[in-house]
Structure formats: structure tokens, C-alpha cells
Amino acid sequence: MAARVANELDLQGMRAAGMAAASVLEMIGEHVVPGVTTDALDALCHDYIVNTLECIPAPLNYGGGGGQMPFPKSICTSVNHVVCHGIPSAGKKLKNGDVLNIDITVIKDGYHGDTSKMFFVGEASVLAKRLVKVTQECLYKGIDAVRAGAHLGDIGYAIQRHAESQRFTVVREFCGHGIGKVFHDAPQVLHYGRKGSGIVLEEGMCFTIEPMINAGKRYIKILPDQWTAVTKDHKLSAQWEHTLMVTADGCEIFTWRAEEGVSRPTATAAVAQ
């Protein structure tokens, strides 16, 4: 069964968790500078999540079993050709020109808020800027396809069409997911697909949209740490993510940030809360 908001308590819980997750990304931006380590960014986020927000960092010790180690840090930091699930490290010092995705998931009063954002470290290349911009546009186009009565495949179709029209490729091994009191729940939200395919969206359904777009080919590999996914051709990758709920005429975005403005119709409800 798909994750959903069932009542007013769920709605307020998801709003609070989404707002908390978004605030972490707003807080950490000024610290993303040349010379900082990804481990230092993790420490700052962990302290803010635990001590300021009084939340739980969902990635910390997540997973494991079947020979895989649990995720050892509180955030994911994916640099340049890292597609997702990059593990913060004291040995990974950011340098001018790097692009970085920071992926945040917090648990507040039992509810999950999941979101990610791209950051430039110093001055990025023209290609990096274009990839990051197009990937964010892919997220918004996916969001624009959401409304009660639409099909799940409409989201992936919108994302894939835009990415490929800009000569980029869509990673297919990872997808968005249902979310609420459970971190990863049904449905799986593919970032590619056919219009009119998949389940029909219903009011109250909650899920993430989190397209991962590559500058080169779509193929990836997992590093020996069992978590870090990288592009096989070592070309750049970018990702943006929001947590949202389906409404009758669009969606409410729980993880919307003030920097994204108020002009997009699908964002109006989230910003107004």
C-alpha cells in the first residue's frame, strides 16, 4: 500500500518534518567552501539536527544486514561524479570547482522529511552549472506532473523527456519512494517512463521525487564501501529532491525552501504553511 497522509495528525507531522529537513540545507550552505571536508559538513548537520531541531538523522546506522554495513554518517555528501549515497569523510576536502549534493533526511516525532540540494564549491564549470540547472528543472517538471488522477509514469516521463532533450541521461538504478512514518515505502517513483503508465495517484499519497541526472552515460557502479554510487564514465552527476503529498489539483511540497520563491503554483500551498 502506498504511503499516505491519513489524517490531520499525519499532515502536521509531515509538514513539520519537511520544514526541519529543509532548514538543514538552508543552514549548511554558508559552510560549503573550498577546504572544508565532507566530514566537517556532516558534523555540523548532525549537531544541528540533533541539538537544534531535536530530530533524528535518519541515515545514521540505516540499512545493514546481508553483509552490508549500516550507513555510518548522518548525511550523504556526493561530490562531482558521485551519483548518490556518498559517505562523508575526513579525507575528502572540497576544492574550487567541485559540485556537491547534500542529502538530508530527518525523523521528527516519528515522521520523515527527505530532501537534497546541489551546491557549488567556489566557481563551477559551465557544464556543471548547466547540469545542475537542468536537473533542478527535471525535479520541478516531475512535480508539475503530480495531481490526483494522474499516473505515476507521468512523473518519470516528464523528467526523462526534459533531461534527454538537454543531452543528459537519467540514472535508472535509484528512484523516489513513498515516505511517512517509514523511510522507504511504496510506491517506487521512477525518473523515466511512459506517460499514462503506472498506478493512479490519489489525494494524500506521500512520496519523494529525486532525479539523478548524468552529464555522460547513465550507467553507474557501486564502490567497495557498498554505498557510494558513481558514474561509470566518471562524468558529473547531479540530484535534487523534495518530499510531497498529492492533492486534488497538484501537490503540497513539504520540503520547499524560501530560496525557491513562490511563483510556481505547485509550491504555493507548501510556502503558505
Domains, the chain, in order of start with CATH, read 8-272 (3.90.230.10)
- Kindly state the percentage of the chain with pLDDT values over 90: 93
Burial class (CB in 10 A: 0-12, 13-18, 19+), 144: middle
pLDDT > 80? residue 156? yes
Residue range 205-223, pLDDT digits in tens: 999 999 999 999 999 999 9
Q: What is the pLDDT of residue 256?
A: 97
Distance CA 273, CA 265 (A): 14
Q: What is the pLDDT of residue 265?
A: 42
Residue range 168-219, pLDDT digits in tens: 999 999 999 999 999 999 999 999 999 999 999 999 999 999 999 999 999 9
Residue range 22-49, pLDDT digits in tens: 999 999 999 999 999 999 999 999 999 9
Cβ atoms within 10 Å of 44's Cβ, excluding its own: 17
Q: How confident is the model at residue 64 (pLDDT cuts 50, 70, 90)?
A: confident
Q: How confident is the model at residue 65 (pLDDT cuts 50, 70, 90)?
A: confident
pLDDT > 60? residue 57? yes
Bridge partners, residue 221, by sequence: 230
Q: Would you give the distance in Å from CA 137 to the centre of its chain?
A: 13
Whether the full predicted model's pTM is greater than 0.85, yes or no, is yes
